[in-house]
Amino acid sequence: MKSQFEVYLRLKPSNKSQSQNAMQYQIYQNKKLQVLLPKHVKFGLINNSRDNLDFNFTHVFDQKSSQEHVFTNVTTPVINSFLDGYNATIFAYGQTGSGKTYTMSGAETWQLRGIIPRTLSYIFDEIDKRNKFEYKIYISFMEIYNENAYDLLEKKHLETPLEQWNKIALYEDDQNNIHLKNLSIHQCNNEQEGIDLLMMGNFIRQVSSTPMNQSSSRSHCIFTVTLEGYDTTSETCFVSKLHLVDLAGSERISKSQVEGNLLNEAKYINLSLTYLEQVIIALNERMKGANRQHIPYRNSLMTTLLKDSLGGNCKTVMIATISSENDNIEESLSTLRFSQRVGQLENEIRRNEKVDLEAVVKRLEQEKLVLIRELEQYQRGGASTSSNKKIQSQQQNLLPQSNGTPISQKDIQEKVELYLNERIPMLDVKSIEETQKCFEAMKDLYNTRMKEYVTELTFISEKLQKYDEILTRKKEQSSFLEQKENSSPEAEIYRRNESPQITFKKRANQ
Ligand SMILES: Nc1ncnc2c1ncn2[C@@H]1O[C@H](COP(=O)(O)OP(=O)(O)OP(=O)(O)O)[C@@H](O)[C@H]1O
């Protein structure tokens, strides 16, 4: 199924009035932003012969849009699809200070919480309503900083400096699936546990200030919710992933006026966002029919990690955030242009469903038990089976009722059949000859039934043998997988998924 990327725009409220250098713009039908270009400014990237530029979006959120409004519009359809078994990604893109973290995580108060905490509440509320499935939810949270990825949910990181953290290692299997080492995955049973993990990750997240924004974060963050859903009515299950991504600021180095170590960081950020742009351009070209086999995902860690979100099996949504001040117009236009390219992309998505091996094995074992019992019963002797007993008793009840006109052999056979099937209580026989015919018909029917019974038992025995073979094969396979899993680094990570001790309680009644 094709899934077009959805691109939303959110404008950060400005402290300045229109006359104080605010960006001049119009929003049309909540879908189009028209930026009126200031005449007096000479921008290298702007065509000065034009006085306005139009940009189209799935929805434009103006400066007054609340966190709840943004969440309901952007996220609910995406999470519903995630809960149905589809992968999904929501990423925020924009210059430093334009509101990415505000949109994704939120601000200090519970009312101002962002998409991630609201997503957690929504997921747990929804799964309570979906009785057909049993769910397991896992959370991981990582940060990409200077082209290295780190686990934000590793308790040790609370006490150790970044230089001593283990880097997350990536490796690819034969099917080009990316696996991660040194990333803890935490099973999460309720909203509060999820929020505690988010708060802990945000707490651990490295923050250092640039001259541009005191709380600027120079890392990309990926909060991932993995959902395992077991269908209780069939033998299927699914695993879907939801990535909630807060990218680092997209501004150019000259703008952030950084030096030394910060300059180095800015270069990495710029580079990874340039690579992200290159991936988007390559995907765009391929969509427009260009012969582009190679998409440069591997150029950066972020694009490698988000490979599936950008050009694979994933429903992807981007939230572009811009400041509404003229000082930042160059960066805003760059974000707006980037978002238009992203909006042209589409992914091919499919439900990540597979057969639930455990449920199949369980069913086969139960069926096997029933079959063994039946077979044993048959082997103890045909005369003792329930159907034989029934036929014997029916024979004893066969008595002629009265004399009269002889009926045909066909009619007698039909009547005997009806009688044996307990559709009529008695056989109305009118002569000795008819009685004999009745006995003949009964003998024939009895023999046919016995033949059918033998055939069925032969079929059952064959089926039983086949199931036995499948079971043995499946058991061999799962013990092989178990061995493989036990020796893999992820298994080690899974085993170490105790919840961190830090707890952050959400405020009541808010
Ligand atoms: N829509 C908004 N409404 C109210 N305040 C906002 C909004 N967007 C951002 N802010 C405020 O602006 C400041 C900067 O926002 P934020 O930290 O989210 O920017 P950012 O894009 O994540 O920056 P960085 O790239 O440094 O992570 C914060 O104090 C935030 O609370």
Predicted local distance difference test score (pLDDT) of residue 116: 96
Q: Is residue 240 part of a domain?
A: yes
Q: Is 269 exposed, middle or buried (0-12, 13-18, 19+ CB in 10 A)?
A: buried
Beta bridge pairs of residue 22: 325
Same domain, 303 and 156: yes
Rounded Cα–Cα distance for residues 270 and 248 (Å)? 9
Please work out whether the CB of residue 206 comes within 6 Å of at least one atom of ligand 1.
no
pLDDT greater at residue 382 or residue 294: 294
Residues 6+ apart with CB under 8 A from 443: none
Predicted local distance difference test score (pLDDT) of residue 375: 62
User: Given a cut of 90, is residue 68 above it in pLDDT?
Assistant: yes
Please work out whether the CB of residue 202 comes within 6 Å of at least one atom of ligand 1.
no
CA of 336 to the centre of ligand 1 (A): 17
pLDDT greater at residue 152 or residue 271: 152
Neighbouring C-alpha atoms within 13 Å toward the C-beta of 419: 25
Q: Is residue 100 part of a domain?
A: yes
Same domain, 368 and 238: no
Same domain, 241 and 369: no
Give mean pLDDT, residues 46-70.
86
Same domain, 140 and 285: yes
Same domain, 395 and 332: no
List pLDDT tens digits, range 451-499: 776 776 677 667 667 667 766 776 665 554 444 444 444 333 333 333 3
Answer with the one of 315, 330, 355 that is the final residue of a domain.
355
List the alpha helices (DSSP H) in 43-135.
Answer: 67-70, 76-83, 100-104, 115-129
Same domain, 239 and 288: yes
pLDDT greater at residue 123 or residue 155: 123
User: Given a cut of 50, is residue 15 above it in pLDDT?
Assistant: yes
Predicted local distance difference test score (pLDDT) of residue 376: 66
Q: Is residue 59 part of a domain?
A: no
CA of 123 to the centre of ligand 1 (A): 25
CA dihedral 251, 255, 260, 265 (to 10 degrees): 0
Same domain, 316 and 379: no
Answer with the one of 355, 372, 407 that is the final residue of a domain.
355
Mean pLDDT for all residues in the chain: 77
Please work out whether the CB of residue 94 comes within 6 Å of at least one atom of ligand 1.
yes
Same domain, 81 and 131: yes
Is 97 a known ligand-binding residue?
yes
Please work out whether the CB of residue 343 comes within 6 Å of at least one atom of ligand 1.
no
Predicted local distance difference test score (pLDDT) of residue 206: 57
Answer with the one of 329, 355, 381 that is the final residue of a domain.
355
Please work out whether the CB of residue 97 comes within 6 Å of at least one atom of ligand 1.
yes
Give mean pLDDT, residues 229-233.
84
CA of 113 to the centre of ligand 1 (A): 12
CA of 94 to the centre of ligand 1 (A): 10
User: Given a cut of 70, is residue 509 above it in pLDDT?
Assistant: no
Q: Is residue 12 part of a domain?
A: no
User: Which CATH number goes with the domain that contains 208?
Assistant: 3.40.850.10
Q: Is the ipTM reported for this complex over the cut 0.95?
A: yes
Same domain, 187 and 168: yes
Q: Is residue 363 part of a domain?
A: yes
Is 298:304 a contact under the CB 8 Å cutoff?
A: yes
Same domain, 315 and 385: no
Rounded Cα–Cα distance for residues 480 and 488 (Å)? 12
Same domain, 332 and 362: no
CA of 96 to the centre of ligand 1 (A): 8
Residue nearest to atom 16 of ligand 1 (CA): 99
User: Given a cut of 60, is residue 504 above it in pLDDT?
Assistant: no
Same domain, 348 and 363: no
Rounded Cα–Cα distance for residues 4 and 450 (Å)? 62
Q: Is residue 16 part of a domain?
A: no
In the three-class reduction of DSSP (H, G, I as helix; E, B as strand; rest coil), residue 233 is classed as coil
Containing domain of residue 471, as a range? 357-490
DSSP state of 281: H
Task: Please state the domain count of the chain.
Answer: 2
List pLDDT tens digits, range 69-100: 999 999 999 999 999 989 999 999 999 889 99
User: Given a cut of 60, is residue 500 above it in pLDDT?
Assistant: no
List pLDDT tens digits, range 379-436: 565 444 444 444 444 444 443 444 455 567 788 888 888 887 778 888 877 788 888 8
Please work out whether the CB of residue 13 comes within 6 Å of at least one atom of ligand 1.
yes
Cα–Cα–Cα angle for 34, 38, 43, rounded to 5 degrees: 100
| Maximum Cα interatomic distance, the chain, rounded to a whole number of Å | 120
Is 210 a known ligand-binding residue?
no
Predicted local distance difference test score (pLDDT) of residue 405: 59
Q: Is residue 51 part of a domain?
A: no
Predicted local distance difference test score (pLDDT) of residue 452: 73
